[in-house]
């Protein structure tokens, strides 16, 4: 059983997150259908897609909704809550609790604006800087992905009365990945990065899928539609709220999400940035380590 703050019950917490997921999904689809305006005249909204971090009314509405739900349901819980939108308004503060939530109310805002459907909602809980529980919501697919350390990772569908489907990687029969051309690689679609392009070329990957939100990409891995996700910092770097919830899904499924060094991602940076090269995969541990080593050699070779 995972460690939770006093008076917080796991089943109640999961049901709480499930209800947040259903309401959030419905709210975002209303924005997509133009039932609610995506922009207002507020000066803190950035509708220009060229902006490095665009913000819409959907981001702000979901942020307020999720934080209010936590405040009402768990007013005295011994955890800290750090959301992407609130972090933009306040200075960075060191968490004083062993438990902290990282929330991204809309990961993949560009894809949301572009109506690709490749966006997600991230709600991830850390204990002592380790991801232990999360919800990753994919509204366009009506999927809710849960991960609980020690229990597993599973998908629930809105379509079929919250039908659950557990992701069982312990008993998965892995294919033979001796040829790089067989590996399906996920990368970012909206962030041009010469470093990443060089890595993909040097690794001679043939099946490259460019996709939006990190949460959307890692759920694609867990669904079995791809094998590896590779990210490397360019002009910007992922933040903790981009990674924590998807990381918990991968970890609970007993798969790998690491730095290129092979070390597991940690969350002890005071500015929440995750610089460098990150690799997630549902491949066997030894294959994941081999890929990390090969990419690390490429980075050293070109002094990246």
At 144-176, the pLDDT tens digits run: 999 999 999 999 988 765 566 666 555 544 444
Model pLDDT for residues 85-137, shown as the tens digit of each residue: 777 655 555 567 899 999 999 999 999 998 999 999 999 999 999 999 999 99
Of 59, 86, 57, 56, give the one whose Cα is nearest residue 71: 86
Nearest-Å Rg of the Cα atoms of the chain is 19
114 touches 213 (CB < 8 A): no
CATH topology for 10-167? Fructose-1,6-Bisphosphatase; Chain A, domain 1 (3.30.540)
Percentage of the chain beyond pLDDT 70 is 83
Q: pTM of whole model > 0.85?
A: yes
The confidence band for 84, taking pLDDT boundaries of 50, 70 and 90, is confident
Q: Taking 70 as the threshold, does the pLDDT of residue 37 lie above it? A: no
Write out the E strands in 70-170.
80-83, 99-107, 120-127, 130-138, 143-148, 152-157, 163-167
Q: Look at 207 and 167; give whichever has higher pLDDT.
A: 207
Class for the domain spanning 180-301? alpha beta
Give the pLDDT confidence score for residue 56 in this predicted structure.
Answer: 86
Give the pLDDT confidence score for residue 5 in this predicted structure.
Answer: 96
Distance between CA 24 and CA 268 in Å, rounded? 29
Domain ranges of the chain: 10-167, 180-301
Model pLDDT for residues 242-290, shown as the tens digit of each residue: 999 999 999 999 999 999 999 999 998 878 999 999 999 999 999 999 9
* 222: phi then psi, degrees, rounded to nearest 5: -65, -25
Cα 7 to the center of its chain, rounded Å: 27
């Amino acid at each position: 059983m995972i460690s939770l703050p006093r008076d917080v019950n796991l089943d109640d917490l999961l049901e709480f997150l499930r209800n947040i997921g259903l309401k959030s999904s419905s709210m975002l689809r209303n924005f997509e259908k133009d039932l609610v305006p995506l922009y207002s005249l507020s000066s803190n909204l950035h509708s220009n897609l060229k902006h490095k971090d665009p913000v819409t009314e959907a981001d702000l509405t979901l942020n307020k909704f999720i934080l209010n739900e936590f405040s009402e349901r768990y007013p005295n819980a011994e955890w800290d809550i750090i959301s992407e939108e609130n972090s933009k308004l306040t200075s960075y503060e060191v968490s004083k609790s062993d438990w902290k939530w990282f929330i991204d109310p809309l990961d993949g805002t560009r894809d949301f604006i572009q109506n690709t459907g490749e966006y997600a909602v991230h709600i991830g809980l850390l204990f002592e800087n380790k991801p232990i529980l999360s919800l990753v919501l994919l509204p366009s697919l009506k999927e809710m992905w849960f991960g609980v350390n020690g229990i597993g990772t599973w998908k629930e569908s809105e379509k079929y009365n919250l039908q659950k489907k557990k992701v069982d990687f312990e008993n998965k029969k892995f294919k033979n990945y001796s040829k790089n051309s067989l590996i399906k690689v996920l990368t970012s679609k909206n962030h041009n990065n010469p470093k990443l392009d060089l890595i993909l070329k040097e690794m001679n990957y043939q099946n490259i899928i460019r996709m939006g939100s990190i949460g959307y990409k890692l759920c694609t891995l867990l669904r079995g539609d791809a094998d590896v996700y590779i990210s490397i910092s360019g002009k910007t770097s992922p933040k903790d709220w981009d990674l924590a919830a998807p990381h918990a899904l991968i970890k609970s499924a007993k798969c790998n999400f690491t730095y290129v060094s092979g070390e597991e991602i940690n969350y002890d940076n005071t500015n929440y940035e995750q610089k460098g090269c990150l690799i997630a995969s549902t491949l066997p541990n030894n294959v994941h380590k081999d890929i990390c080593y090969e990419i690390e050699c490429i980075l050293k070779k070109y002094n990246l």
